[in-house]
A and B are shown apart, each in its own frame.
Chain A
Amino acid sequence: TQLLEQSPQFLSIQEGENLTVYCNSSSVFSSLQWYRQEPGEGPVLLVTVVTGGEVKKLKRLTFQFGDARKDSSLHITAAQPGDTGLYLCAGRWGATNKLIFGTGTLLAVQP
């Protein structure tokens, strides 16, 4: 059973559009990471958030951690074809050292 739900599952947009991807859990995260995966490769880390309400920016990507640390979002401004890929959130809860991944959001940006 996946403890981390991501939405939407699939997203196909035109170049230049904005989008938001969500990651939700019923439990409080100790920390949460976002990864991006391209076909045939392993995921690559984009960001780590640990503090409730935290906002981090990485060029056109904005990551937000919910105040209660149960949810997170990834917003992409003016999407480009190079943003195409599978976006994954990964979380750790309490004292556990398991790192569990979400269900993933597959993004396709059309030129």
Chain B
Amino acid sequence: GAGVSQSPRYKVAKRGQDVALRCDPISGHVSLFWYQQALGQGPEFLTYFQNEAQLDKSGLPSDRFFAERPEGSVSTLKIQRTQQEDSAVYLCASSRRDRGTEAFFGQGTRLTVV
């Protein structure tokens, strides 16, 4: 597709439920990033893939958060046993490998844990 696509756009989960968020990056983009944006805040880095390799997961807030990109294209962010503090917009971005190049963002998935 022309841009980064994320699904679902909105997700309501009951506390304790597992969720999976999908990201389809721009075709050919090597780098893929996940960010978490809490209400009224700027996005915060979660994790980074270069092709299928997860090179940085320092931003994942707990071991309940897991991300994968098995074939170097589509990525899934999984949150196990969701908590209310997980409520946020989860943004995916992709870019070429070059330093300083633009990251293109998807519209995000708004997760609400009730």
Q: Does B associate with A?
A: no
**Contacts from A to B (Cβ < 8 Å):** none
